[in-house]
């Protein structure tokens, strides 16, 4: 009697455990799917908005870039002139560096060759330093260099003498090590799962449905060839999320049915993946791409506010182009440059 009772309890416990594993897997898979869709919606929103902004401002931006390039060339020619005072040289260099920074980082400046400007800048700086050195006494310079080196060395020594161990920093390092170890463990478990019999079975089932050789229509065959390539890519890169998504889409069932004894491991990996996807959502806006830069720069809470910001930018760029074109056309010699700088400084003050 005791043996029979125990067996019944074990059977119930096993059944309950199986149902519990199914529920945990389905919940984890649903969370991953929802978060993935949420991430995709945000990316699509950014892409669509960036396309609209691009169409609205690209002509003005490209005109601004072209005018800025010409202005930078002209400033570099003026910078090499000896008769300018030191403050005037410094202001010109400030303008040149600002122009180069804009040309380097503006998302609409792709395709612009900055090599000639950088070479001209290097030549101008070398010439400027030679002019400066010619006015200095070599022996005094050597003494100043030695004294500066000794003083800098003392400052560094004093600085580090006051530095005490930062417990928060060490705690951060420990957390970072634990995080990296967790990533390694997840990768190890994922590799193990992807090589399991159940995952291989899922792959074969999907491949049996989307294999291009089964399709007579040429266009449909090409589409399935693309799908098959994506499936193989997912398998080879251990992309279990895409593999499960393909199974749901093309087999029409939950991947749970084919996992067998690997359900618990798959559930744990899905929970980890959900955490990664949720972290990615907060990072999407900070991805360094042209689309993200435009979204962050112009997107507001309402469509009306966004359009207002775009139009305000277009107006500002138009004014900037007019100012640069005036300089390029009207400032043709040192006398005019000095007069322009004087008026600029008066306006700034």
Backbone angles phi, psi at 109, to 5 degrees: -95, 15
Is 77 in a helix, a strand, or coil? Answer: helix
Over residues 277-335, the pLDDT tens digits come to 998 898 998 887 889 999 999 999 999 999 999 999 999 999 999 999 999 999 999 99
Sign of CA dihedral 295, 298, 301, 306: negative
Q: Give the whole-number percent of the chain exceeding pLDDT 90.
A: 35
Q: Does the structure show a pLDDT above 50 at 71?
A: yes
pLDDT at residue number 145: 53
pLDDT at residue number 54: 95
pLDDT at residue number 1: 34
Q: What is the mean pLDDT of residues 198-203?
A: 86
What's 227's DSSP letter?
H
Residue 104 vs residue 11, higher pLDDT:
104
Q: How many whole angstroms separate alpha carbon 319 and alpha carbon 321?
A: 5
Is 349 in a helix, a strand, or coil? Answer: coil
pLDDT at residue number 251: 87
Most confident option among 81-90, 262-271, 305-314: 305-314
* Number of neighbouring beta carbons within 10 Å of residue 121: 19
Q: What is the mean pLDDT of residues 230-238?
A: 88
Q: What is the DSSP string of 271-316?
A: HHHHHHHHHHHHHHTTS-SHHHHHHHHH--SSHHHHHHHHHHHHHH
What's 41's DSSP letter?
H
Average pLDDT of the chain to the nearest whole number: 82
Most confident option among 8-12, 143-147, 211-215: 211-215
Q: How many whole angstroms separate alpha carbon 88 and alpha carbon 86?
A: 5
Q: Does the structure show a pLDDT above 70 at 211?
A: yes
Exposed e or buried b for every residue in 67-84, given b needs 16+ CB within 10 A?
bbbebbeebbebbbeeeb
Whether pTM exceeds 0.75: no
Over residues 128-163, the pLDDT tens digits come to 777 666 555 554 555 555 565 565 566 555 545 544
pLDDT at residue number 307: 97
């Amino acid at each position: 009697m005791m043996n029979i009772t125990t067996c019944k309890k074990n059977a119930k416990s096993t059944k309950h455990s199986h149902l519990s594993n199914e529920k945990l897997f389905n919940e984890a898979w649903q969370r991953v799917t929802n978060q993935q869709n949420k991430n995709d919606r945000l990316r699509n929103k950014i892409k669509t908005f960036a396309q609209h902004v691009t169409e609205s401002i690209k002509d003005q931006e490209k005109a601004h870039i072209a005018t800025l390039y010409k202005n930078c060339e002209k400033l570099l020619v003026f910078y090499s002139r000896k008769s300018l005072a030191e403050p005037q040289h410094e202001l010109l260099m400030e303008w040149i560096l600002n122009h180069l920074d804009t040309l380097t980082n503006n998302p609409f400046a792709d395709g612009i060759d900055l090599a000639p400007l950088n070479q001209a800048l290097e030549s101008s700086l070398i010439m400027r330093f030679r002019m400066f050195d010619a006015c200095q006494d070599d022996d005094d310079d050597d003494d100043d260099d030695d004294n500066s080196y000794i003083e800098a060395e003392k400052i560094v020594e004093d600085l580090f003498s006051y530095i005490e161990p930062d417990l928060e920093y060490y705690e951060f390092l420990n957390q970072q090590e634990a995080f990296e170890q967790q990533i390694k463990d997840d990768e190890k478990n994922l590799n193990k799962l992807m090589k399991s019999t159940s995952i291989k079975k899922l792959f074969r089932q999907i491949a049996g449905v989307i294999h291009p050789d089964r399709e007579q229509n040429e266009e449909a065959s090409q589409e399935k060839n693309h799908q098959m390539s994506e499936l193989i890519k997912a398998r080879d890169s251990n992309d279990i999320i895409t593999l499960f998504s393909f199974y749901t889409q093309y087999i029409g069932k939950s991947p749970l049915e084919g996992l067998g004894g690997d359900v618990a491991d798959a559930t744990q990996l899905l929970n980890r993946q959900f955490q990664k996807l949720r972290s990615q959502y907060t990072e999407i806006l900070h991805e360094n791409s042209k689309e993200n830069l435009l979204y962050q720069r112009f997107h507001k809470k309402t469509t009306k506010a966004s359009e207002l910001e775009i139009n305000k930018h277009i107006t500002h760029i138009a004014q900037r182009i007019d100012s640069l074109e005036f300089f390029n056309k009207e400032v043709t010699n040192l006398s005019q440059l000095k007069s322009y700088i004087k008026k600029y400084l008066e306006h700034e003050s």
